Amino acid sequence: MKATIELTKKTALEEIINSNDIDTIKSLIERKEMSLKEAEENAAFYESICNEDFASNERQRANRLIRDIEILKLAI
């Protein structure tokens, strides 16, 4: 006898969306929007001091936050 088990782990974002807790989702959107603003400001600062590595990291962070915000807004 054989059994196949598939283990999956959901991300924190998926867990919140699946909870259907609108207040929590709205709160998370607000926090991510603040973080997005900070990431964009940080990227601009690092570019101004010619630190491309840090600027690139902050741009990647901003892009991830944009995707997360879009996903969360669809869940409302």
The percentage of the chain sitting over the pLDDT mark of 70, rounded to a whole number, equals 100
- pLDDT at position 2 is 87
Burial 32-65 (b: 16+ CB within 10 A, else e): beebbeebbebbeebeeeeeeeebeebbebbeeb
Whole-model pTM: value is: 0.80
- Residue 6 reports pLDDT greater than 90: no
Domain ranges of the chain: 20-75
- Answer yes or no: is pLDDT of 4 > 90: no
